Amino acid sequence: MDHRSMVGLSKRMSRALRHEPARLGLIPDRAGWVPVDDLLAALRVDRADLDTVVAGNDKQRFAVERGPDGIDRIRANQGHSIPVELGLPPAVPPERLYHGTGADAVDSIRADGLHRGGRHHVHLSADVETARRVGARRGGAVVVFTVDAAAMARDGHVFHRSANGVWLTDAVSPGYLTPGR
């Protein structure tokens, strides 16, 4: 599978598992899991291609496991706009986390902070390089904000860490943010 095909299938899988499962006749359980065979049929792809995307996705967006019923299942690790309970326990974050964004969003973020929008959480990165990559996905200039996660945690904000290392929280107020370059 070439890189372009892999990216295209990854986007289709993300839409199906994170945003519009019903559109494809998929019914995720409360934790967002869908039988692999159901996703394969809905997307009309084979298991080898799905496994290639899961293994080769640079952001490790998907998890595959054998369910208690013996059936292989798949879900997105985070980023859902549909109701899901990922079952992630609270976690103590590192002192600093990072959020990459386009330069056009800087003024709004400085004024209002980071909000989850239509998703369940704000997504934060553990390192500047990952935040920069995330911020660059829409093209244009990228600004990376530093989040004072240690202060947020001391002030009672709850963090979770997804299976692929993305840090999640409900919101980040402007006082905890420092814009970078």
176 torsion bin: left (phi>0), alpha (psi -120 to 50), beta (else): alpha
Instruction: Give the model's pLDDT for residue 181.
Output: 58
Which pLDDT band holds residue 180 (cuts at 50, 70, 90)?
Answer: confident
pLDDT value of position 126: 96
More confident residue, 16 or 136: 16
**Bridging pattern class, strands 72-76 and 34-35:** antiparallel
Contact, 109 vs 177, CB < 8 A? yes
Beta-carbon count within 10 A of 152 CB: 20
Residue 99: C-alpha distances to residues 54, 61, 73, 148, 162 (Å): 24, 17, 30, 11, 16
Count of CB atoms within 10 A of residue 170's CB?
14
pLDDT at residue 23, rounded to an integer: 95
179 pLDDT band, cuts 50/70/90, is confident
Please state the domain extents for the chain.
3-76, 96-179
Q: What is the pLDDT of residues 43-64, one digit of tens each?
A: 999 999 999 999 987 678 899 9
Residue 20: pLDDT above 80?
yes
Architecture in CATH of 3-76: Orthogonal Bundle (1.10)
Mean pLDDT of the chain: 92
The CATH architecture assigned to 96-179 reads Alpha-Beta Barrel (3.20)
Residue-wise pLDDT tens digits, 65-114: 999 999 999 999 888 888 888 888 999 999 999 999 999 999 999 999 99
Q: How far is CA 125 from the centre of its chain?
A: 10
For residue 163, the model assigns a pLDDT of: 83
14 by DSSP, 3-state: which?
Answer: helix
Determine how many CB atoms are found less than 10 A away from the CB of residue 7. 14
